[in-house]
Structure 1
Amino acid sequence: MGRRFRRLAHSATVDVVFDPDGDPESGTEMVHINPSLLFDHDGWSKGPAFKGAYSGSFIHETGPLASLLMKKSSKLSNTAIKGRPSQPVSVTVASLKRVPDLQERMTFYPRPPVFAIVPILSSLATCVTCGLYREWYAFSMILLGILARGFACVFIGSGKLIFDHPKPAEGSPPGDGILGYDRELVLLKGEEHVVNAITRGRMFFRFRSKHACYIVELCSILLIVQAIAQLILIPQSQLFGQLMFLVSLAFSWSYNLWLSSVDKEVVRKEIFGKILGEPKFIKFTFPNRVSAVVFLLLALSYDRRSPGDLERLKKIMDTLLPTDAEVWQIWKETIVEKLRNGQGFRFEDSHHPNLSASDMTLLSNLLGDAGTAYTAFEQHRAKIVPREEMADSNGPPLRS
């Protein structure tokens, strides 16, 4: 625990907060601390890479909300798509609606669980019992633990959990884009403001005291001293004192184990719900990566917000399938041409004299994978792109 607080101290930064909306704290010096160090990076770490479909932006590491979204996506039930078997890839289409209360800076006040009183009462009871039986070594160590951990909890409780994300410029294109890892891809569909919250949002504890850095360091020292003193002095205590200490320790550890598995999930759900509301998800599992990527391109091409420049889709294809072999380039050009002309994915046999027999076999397989994606998209098109978002006559001329 002491080492964790030491990492908190190293993550602390002093900043001056300026809020144009008249925040009473505007213009004052604050201390910001990274909360992911308290949560063991479980669901609060940086998220996967993001490629913007309209803006063309590429973010190598996204914010903690992206990590939470990926965890949520991985647990969804899916529709399996049949095709050429290879390494399966999941594709989730997430339709994001702007929550009315979504702001550039939001403050959360997670309330402590009722069960927090249990380890407090157990520590006080064992401490008093040791004092009554004159077990002073155990008494002093339990009391030191109460003071050290209590001081640390009071300090953390005095801070505000802040979620912050940048406001997009006026006239920014839609924020749609692809988020994900090698085998788990998520298509984000929504306004730039909402997508920014996922891809660029960050969490931090804010403390008004400019001495917060020193207080964190003091908490770290107290917790480390407590651990060392317990190792030295508890063996000097009598059996009854050692038993009381173990009872206090058992209650504290049990509560911490419960808190680490339950309370963080409650905090996650509260933050996720307040920022993103209830996004709509639909998930598919494709038999290979090629089908998954083509499916994503089709979902983007049908949207009426598309500017009609399919070169952006070619860039997305190159990002998700980064190979420049000749056979792959021929295949990519064929797919982009189909998207541009609005033709169904029905491919005629064609001969490419520069390709070997093995490359021609590969090209045939890749075109078959594209056909698999097109069939899946046609079957589920109404769920993926609602009628009000369908491309009009001025949009991409995709037709069945």
Structure 2
Amino acid sequence: MATVHLYRGRRWLGWYNSPGSYTVAKKFGQLANSRFWDGLFPGPNLTPAEAFGLDGKPGPRYWGVFSGTDMTAGHLAYLVVQKANEVEEKVEVTGRETTPLSVTIVDVGGMTIQDSDPAPKMSTHHALLATIPITFSLAACALSAASGDWLAFALILVGIFSSGISCFVIGSARLAFASVKDPAPGAPPADGVLLLRNDVVIVRGAEKDINPITKGKFVLEMVGGPEFRRIGFCSLLLLAQFLLQLLLIPQATTFGQLMFLASLAVSWAYNSFLSSLEQERIQVELLWKALGNPRICKFGLKSRAAQAVFICLVLRDGVQNQSVDFKPKKVLQCFVSNDTRVWDTWRDKVVEEIQSNRRVKSFELDSSDLQGFGKDE
């Protein structure tokens, strides 16, 4: 049920006797927001996107190097980081090794996600496998009736209808993006970094392209908010299915019970298959498709100093307008914050080399740079 919004046409394919109706009712019944529903399904009143795992993951810290923005990004930035973790290192930069680190570069700008744009969906080939449990549930229902066990027939039919109606109602929500509607005119480039513990993701592009990543999120547009009574009635229907089947199936014949259990087993296998497809990976694929499959490459570095210099060079390379205020020393201090005389000298050396027009740059301190330093420094 949690992936019903991610596959095209999936809402029409829930007509089978599915196990776990109590768990589904308990989880999604919390969406219904009133005193009655809160008493029946206690728990936090999450947003629809949070309830279905489409929002709520804490994102990394985002620092806009040119704009000065410093904020905690949201769920979509978290997905970008997951994409970066999947990418293999393209180049490993040699040098003195202390701690293995990486820098991933994402160039955004192929397509711009606008506020309220519908999110793309996965193809139907996985969802069409639902025809197997649907066929088996209908066959079990028919065989139970043919054997004269009308109780088993009715209980399987209750499961089919409650699951199908709930899947259709819940799956009718529209999956879309929410983002900043109109970026400020004349805003500087939004090139910035997503900061992790050891790794860094550089996102490059205009503010209108970066905003959906840093400030955007998935939203589920459901009819009937904020009370969501339809979700409450569907959860109540699933709860009634659970109680009826639990109490009455022991009264069915042995053949009817076998048919009932067989329909649940096939449905359970199909649900397990859908659960094995990682929801976050599906969300990453949908986000990447919405962004126009931006170019992404990953570089391995062997020290924090090398990482800081590499980030400065990449960000400097993206500056097309000379009026853009780029402060490489501030970037270096962010990643190498050691407040000592020798590190101050090294940062000054790196800044001088970055701002110079020399094609071959050297970031190593020579004897002239180290004049006046003692051996213990």
Could you say whether these structures have the same fold, taking a TM-score greater than 0.5 normalized by the shorter chain as the test? yes
Partner of 2:103: 91
After superposition, what is the alpha-carbon deviation per residue over 1:122-177, rounded to whole angstroms, capped at 9, x for unaligned? 22221232233344554343233222221221112322111121031111111111
Identify if the C-alpha distance between structure 1 residues 132 and 109 changes in structure 2 by more than 3 Å, giving closer, same or farther.
farther
CA pair 34-209 structure 1, distance change in 2 beyond 3 A: closer
Letter in 1 for 2:365: F
Kept in 2, the 8 Å contact 1:293–1:320? The answer is: yes
Residues 318-329 of structure 1: pairs in structure 2 closer than 5 A: 318-321=333-336, 324=339, 328-329=343-344
Would the aligned equivalents of 2:54 and 2:218 in 1 still touch at CA under 8 Å? Answer: no
* Match of residue 143, structure 1, among 145, 149, 157: 157
Q: Alignment partner for residue 283 of structure 1, among 294, 298, 302? A: 298
1:114 maps to amino acid: L
- Please name the residue that 1:48 is paired with: 60
What amino acid is aligned across from residue 84 of structure 2 in structure 1? S
| d(CA) in 2 for partners of 1:239, 1:326 | 84
The partner residue of 1:59 within 41, 47, 71 is: 71
Residue identity in the other structure for 2:314: A
Q: How far apart are 1:107 and its partner, in Å?
A: 1.6
Pair 329,250 (structure 1): closer, same or farther in 2 beyond 3 Å: farther
* 1:322–1:219 distance in 2 versus 1, CA, 3 Å: farther
The question of 1:107 aligning with 2:110 is answered no
Cα distance in 2 for residues equivalent to 1:141 and 1:328: 74
Q: Distance in 2 between matches of 1:192 and 1:7?
A: 37
CA distance in 2: counterparts of 1:187 and 1:130, whole angstroms: 61
Match of 1:269 among 285, 296, 314: 285
Contact 1:135 1:238 survives alignment (8 Å): yes
Which deviates further from its counterpart, 5-14 or 135-144? 5-14
Aligned-CA RMSD value = 3.3
Question: Is contact 1:105-1:164 (8 Å) kept?
Answer: yes
Task: Please give the per-residue CA displacement for 1:280-301, whole angstroms capped at 9, x wherever unaligned.
Answer: 2221111233322221111112
Return the alpha-carbon distance in structure 2 between the equivalents of residues 35 and 342 of structure 1.
Answer: 50
Mapping of 1:128-277 within 5 angstroms? 128-166=142-180, 167-210=182-225, 213-262=228-277, 264=279, 268-273=284-289, 275-277=290-292
Secondary structure at the counterpart of residue 285 of structure 1: strand
Match among 106, 118, 125 for residue 132 of structure 2: 118
Percent identity between matched residues is: 30
How far apart, CA to CA, are the structure 2 residues paired with 1:125 and 1:164? 44
1:338 to partner: Cα distance: 4.0
- 1:251 is displaced (CA, Å) by 1.9
CA deviation map 1:271-319 (0-9, x unaligned): 421x2112122211112333222211111123224645444x4444444
Partners in 1 of 2:338 and 2:26 — Cα distance?
Answer: 45
Contact 1:97 1:279 in 2 (8 A): yes
User: In the TM superposition, what are the counterparts of 1:240-389 in structure 2 within 5 Å?
Assistant: 240-262=255-277, 264=279, 268-273=284-289, 275-302=290-317, 303-305=319-321, 307=323, 309-311=325-327, 313-321=328-336, 324=339, 328-329=343-344, 331-340=346-355, 344=361, 345-349=363-367, 350-351=370-371, 357=376, 360=377
1:71 to 82, 88, 103: 82
TM-score, with normalisation over the residues of structure 2?
0.75
For the residues of structure 2 that align with 1:210 and 1:322, how far apart are their CA atoms?
48
Structure 2 segments unaligned to the other structure (5+ residues):
1-19, 35-45
1:223–1:12 Cα change, 3 Å: closer
Partner-residue secondary structure (3-state), 1:169? coil
* Contact map agreement 1:70 1:180 (CA 8 A) in 2: no
1:14-33 pair list within 5 angstroms: 33=47
Superposition misfits of 4+ residues, deviation over 6 angstroms: none
Residue of structure 2 in register with 1:386 after alignment: none
Give 2:211's aligned amino acid: N
Task: Give distance in 1, aligned partners of 2:348 and 2:33.
Answer: 49
Amino acid at match of 2:109: K
Counterpart amino acid of residue 96 in structure 1: V
Preserved contact between residue 177 and residue 189 of structure 1 (Cα < 8 Å): yes
Alpha-carbon contact 1:107-1:163 (below 8 Å) kept: yes
Counterpart position of 2:12: none
Change (3 A) 1:318 1:146: farther
CA distances 1:183-228 after superposition (whole Å, capped 9, x unpaired): 3321111111111111111111112334761222232333344345
After superposition, what is the alpha-carbon deviation per residue over 1:11-63, rounded to whole angstroms, capped at 9, x for unaligned? 6799xxxxxxxxxxxxxxxxx9433532487xx83432211111111221323
Q: How many residues align?
A: 334
Are the aligned partners of 1:122 and 1:248 in contact in 2 as well (CA < 8 Å)?
Answer: yes
Amino acid at match of 1:144: V
Q: Aligned AA for 1:272? A: W
